[in-house]
Amino acid sequence: MIHKLFKLTLAILFACTFIHLQAQYKLKQHPNVVIILADDLGYGDLSCFGQKNWQTPNIDKLAEEESKLTSMYTPVPYCEPTRDSLLTGSYPQRHKLVLNPNPEKTSNFQKYRGGDSIGLQESEYLLSQLLKSYGYTNKIIGKWHLGHQAKFLPLKRVFDEYLGMPYSNDMRPVILLENEKVIEYPVVQSTLTKRYTQL
Active site residues: 79, 145
- Residues paired with 161 in a beta bridge: 139
**HSE-CB for 72 with a 13 A CA cutoff:** 15
- Residues paired with 147 in a beta bridge: none
Other residues' Cβ atoms within 10 Å of the Cβ of residue 32:
7
d(CA 183, CA 186): 10
Strands 139-141 and 161-164: parallel
d(CA 140, CA 146): 12
Burial code (b: 16+ CB inside 10 Å, e: under 16) for 80-104 equals bbbbbbbbbebebeebebeebbbbe
